[in-house]
Chain A
Amino acid sequence: MEPSATRVISPTHGPSGRRRLRHDNLTAFLSVLPMIAFILAITVYPTLNALFHSFTKWDGIHVEFIGLDNYAQIAKDPRFWQLLLNTLIYVSTVPVQILIALFIMVLLYEKLPGWRFFRSLFYLPNVLSPIIIGLIFRQAFMWEGPINAFFKANHLNWLVLDWLSKGPTAMGVILIAIIWNNFGYGVVLFLAGATMIDPCVFEAALLDGANWFQKTFRIFLPLLGRVIAFFSVTTIIWIFTGLFGLIFAITKGGPGYDTTTLEYMIYLNAFKAGGKMGYACALAVYLFVITFGISRISMLVTDRSDR
């Protein structure tokens, strides 16, 4: 006996269906409304507030509209270009982080003995507070710190320096701290990306006679392109906007302004320079535009290379 054809009525078709759909949509909207309101309050409102005050002379209480004066002053300030250069130097760690993270990821992917332990170990610096990492590096590279003690003990006295007292060496310490802090994030990200690659691809390569190097560099890494691009963009944004804790703990932006970033300069102007909050807001807008521009360009380049 054949089953009778049953007409399936879609739950969203017809007048009652449309009513139900509207009802469901309203319920969904009201469910997320509190969180949307919260996010708007803590992101959009401060952003618009900062944008408004960037056109003013503002000490936290008194507001005086001055148009583009803050922006003009910033562009004319030679320190601005030095801070931008400092930040770009920190951005130069991104390729190094990628290389280190990829190398470790390849080893972990092979599931060598203890790989789960090492995966956690390499990710550990990423979960530590930047202040903690900064203090560790500061103590390590102090004149009387363990790094100099190691060099002295091994008769490498020419390497015994006051690492944090000169701009180039202080910056070097921060570069190492940045790489150490963030490469674990790359390892975990790349590993996740790698596990999503269909193993059949590698089996096919093996059948075609590909060796380990060919498998890794001609198949594996290109397939991770999108993940690598994502890591690059998020790390660049982090370097532009998230280094305050590290720099505050290690050098406080010194000596002078040699390790200061644009982000750190916002803090200095808002709190240390006689309350130039309007100027600090303008710096923040500059930072937003630069960061947005760089991430946009990165995404365009990635999209183009994908095609």
Chain B
Amino acid sequence: MKRLSGLVLVLFLGGTLAVFGSGKKEGNTLKYWMIGNPTTEADQGKPADQWYVNQAVKRFEAKTGIKVEVSIFPDQSAFADKFKAAGIARNGPDVSGIWGGSVMFDNKDFILPLDPYFTADELSQIASINAFRYNYKPDGPLLGIPNAVSNDSLMLFYNKEIFRQAGISDAEIPTDVNSLAAACEKIKKIGVTPIAVGDQEGYYSAFMMLPLYASASGAQGIRDIVEGRNTFAQDADFVAAARVYQQMYSLGYTNPDVVSLNDSAGQTLFASGKAAMIVTGQWMIAAGYQLLGDKLGMTKWIALRPDAKYKGLMVGGPSQAACVTSYTKNPEQAIQFLKFLMSKEELVQCITVGNNSAGSTPFKVVPPDTFKDPFSRMLVDFNKNAPFSVFWLDNQLPQEVATELYRMSPLLLSSALTVDQYVAKMDEVMKRNILK
């Protein structure tokens, strides 16, 4: 009897602990998840207490008494998985970074629409705010605000020293497919890899192929495909862009291990001087300048043809959003934190402490001359003089289509798929995912 009573008591205690013992600390603590490196590449060399984000959190805590717990997730590609899993389990953050476009739209059920919490005046201070409205519709719910002080811009980076050795003058810096091919042939002759590509994740189709397509079709081409008015196979510009992309590997203009090398290894290949060029976002500037110094050159990515309708366009925009989760128990405090981060004082701090390079910012309160480094000045000029700009094209695709694009990109590049097979596969997935 004694034994039985003891056992029942243990079971009761155990059950009580299990039910109540795991309770979270609630109240004045916000959980904030950040994707990738803490704010900027420049932070990586500093001790954590000097990072912009940690300093900003201290200022917020001092001002409001609300504690913020920051978690940083360096693996950007796995972050979306984590965010979704946390959303289903309702144990994720209060405030989070999230990639715009299909990733954000796919997770909209876990994100709090922000329209009721921002005045029209506050929203008018943000350019390109519709980039974070559901399906980019002006009347769609606002799912986030830009999470980075700078707009991302796609650029062609090159090594000036290698160009000089190959005999490529400033006038011969590539602007279209023909001049790129000519430059690559010269670089090959001196035994250097012309273009660094790390396409294991498939992002280079978005960096290189889709912008080629956009230089001929503008922003409307991809919208027509996504909304069912056209197909990949029937769009001659898309097929042409896919063919050019494939030829870059078959003509030996890239490193031989494009399929197995990942994106960051590709950037390392360029930054270490083993390749002459790379096509990626302006986030390359910090690491590139650190390793290459004044040898680092930057220009716009090329057009599909010398007479392409949108030659000289800029591809980019606010890629990452800050959002509030729909299951947060502290929505007002989360919004308060968001508004703190987008205040003018904090944005200027983020630029000066974090040493961001950018040519434009989605926040109109930031004076354009806040970005002082030479590359930012170049980006400002590129953006000012660009005849056209278009938002990241892969972000405009439904997520299943974007995933298939990334998956098939290495097969297209390495000619494991013909262009016809590739567009057929893309159309097959697109048929299931037409956006209305």
A185 within 8 A of B: no
Name B4's closest neighbour in chain A (CB-CB). A27
Query: Which of B7, B8, B109, B259 is the one whose CB lies under 8 Å from A255?
Result: B259
Q: How far is the CB of B235 from chain A (nearest CB, A)?
A: 22
Which A266-291 residues have C-beta < 8 A from chain B?
A: 268, 271-276
Which residues of B352-411 have CB atoms within 8 Å of chain A's CB atoms? 398-400, 403, 407-408, 410-411
Are A274 and B398 in contact, with the CB atoms below 8 A?
Answer: yes
Chain A contacts of B417 at CB under 8 A? 256
B418 an interface residue at 8 Å Cβ cutoff? no
A165 at the interface (CB under 8 A from B): yes
Assess the A255–B416 pair: CB atoms within 8 A. Answer: yes
The residue from B4, B400, B416 contacting A23, defined by CB atoms under 8 A apart? B4
A144 to B256, CA, bound (A): 10
Tell me whether B416 and A162 are in contact (CB under 8 A): no
Q: Of B4, B407, B410, which contacts A165 at CB under 8 A?
A: B410
Does the CB pair A274–B259 fall under 8 Å? no
Task: Say whether A273 contacts B260, CB under 8 Å.
Answer: no
Asked if A155 lies at the interface with its beta carbon under 8 angstroms from chain B, I say no
Given A162-B257, A164-B259, A257-B407, also A275-B4 (CB < 8 A): no
User: Contact at B256–A162, with CB atoms within 8 Å?
Assistant: yes
Q: Which residues of A contact B261 (CB under 8 A)?
A: 142-143
Most buried by A among B7, B106, B200, B257: B257
Determine whether the beta carbon of A26 is less than 8 Å from that of B84.
no
Q: A61-B109, A271-B84, A274-B433 are in contact. Are A256 and B416 (CB under 8 A)?
A: yes
A256 touches B410 (CB 8 A): yes
Partner of A166, one of B88, B403, B416: B416
Instruction: Tell me whether A256 and B11 are in contact (CB under 8 A).
Output: no
A31: interface (CB < 8 Å): yes
Contact with A along B399-436 (1 / 0, CB 8 A): 11001000110110010110000000000000001000
Which residues in A have their C-beta under 8 angstroms from that of B88?
Answer: 60-61
A165 B258 Cβ-Cβ under 8 A: yes
Per the bound structure, the CA–CA distance linking A1 and B433 in Å amounts to: 97
Compute how far the CA of A143 lies from the CA of B110 in the bound complex, rounded to whole angstroms.
41
Q: Point out the residue from B8, B84, B256, B433 that lies within 8 Å of A60, measured CB to CB.
A: B84
A60 CA / B326 CA spacing, docked (Å): 14
Interface string of A139-175 (1 = CB under 8 A from B): 0001110000000000000000011111100100000
Measured between beta carbons, the chain B residues less than 8 angstroms from A271 are 80-81, 84-85
Q: A30: which B residues are within 8 A, CB to CB?
A: 4, 7-8, 11
Minimum C-beta distance from A34 to chain B (A): 6
Which chain A residues border B408 with CB–CB below 8 Å?
A: 256
Q: Is the interface of B mostly helix, strand, loop or mixed?
A: helix
Is A254's CB under 8 angstroms from B7's CB?
A: no
A252 to B262, CA, bound (A): 11
Verify if A69 is at the interface (C-beta below 8 Å from B).
no
Q: Which residues of A contact B11 (CB under 8 A)?
A: 30, 33-34
| B87 interface residue (CB < 8 Å to A) | yes
| Minimum CB distance partner of A269 in chain B | B400
In the assembled complex, the Cα of A23 lies from the Cα of B85 at a distance in Å of 45
Judged by a CB distance under 8 angstroms, whether B167 is at the interface is: no
With both chains docked as a complex, state the minimum distance between the C-beta of B14 and any C-beta of chain A, in angstroms.
6
Find chain A residues with CB under 8 A from B80 CB.
Answer: 271-272
- CB pair B407 A256 closer than 8 Å: yes
Q: In the bound complex, do residue A272 and residue B399 qualify as a contact, i.e. CB atoms below 8 Å apart?
A: yes
Residue from A26, A59, A163 having most chain B Cβ neighbours under 10 A? A59
Chain A nearest CB, measured from B378 CB (Å): 32
Contact call B109/A274, Cβ cutoff below 8 A: no
Cβ–Cβ < 8 Å partners of A163 in chain B: 260
Chain A residue contacts of B260, Cβ below 8 A: 142-143, 162-165, 170, 251
Tell me if B3 is interfacial: C-beta within 8 Å of chain A: yes
Residue numbers in A under 8 Å from B8 (CB-CB):
30
> What CA separation (Å) do A143 and B400 show in the bound complex?
30
B-chain residues with CB within 8 Å of residue A59 when the two chains form the complex: 109
Query: Which residues of A have CB within 8 Å of B400?
Result: 272-274, 276
Q: Tell me, rounded to whole Å, the shortest Cβ–Cβ distance linking B121 to chain A.
A: 33
Residues 90-118 of chain B, each 1 if its beta carbon lies under 8 Å from chain A, else 0: 00000000000010001101100000000
User: In the complex, which residues of chain A have a beta carbon less than 8 angstroms from the beta carbon of B84?
Assistant: 60, 271, 275
Against A, the Cβ 8 Å flags (1 = close, 0 = not) of B61-102 are: 000000000000000000011001101100000000000001
In the bound complex, residues from chain B placing their C-beta under 8 Å from that of A254 are: 200, 259, 407, 410
Q: Mark A20-48, 1 if CB is under 8 A from B, else 0.
A: 00010011001101100000000000000
Q: List 13 A-B contacts (CB under 8 A).
A: A27-B4, A142-B260, A143-B255, A162-B260, A164-B257, A164-B259, A165-B414, A167-B416, A255-B410, A256-B417, A272-B400, A274-B102, A274-B433
For the A-B complex with A33-B11, A166-B414 known, give 6 more contacts whose Cβ atoms are closer than 8 Å: A34-B11, A59-B109, A61-B109, A162-B260, A254-B410, A271-B84
Which 6 pairs, one residue from A and one from B, show the smallest C-beta to C-beta distance? Answer: A143-B257, A165-B259, A164-B260, A274-B399, A274-B400, A271-B81
B residues near A (Cβ < 8 Å) are 3-4, 7-8, 11, 14, 80-81, 84-85, 87-88, 102, 106-107, 109-110, 200-201, 255-261, 398-400, 403, 407-408, 410-411, 414, 416-417, 433
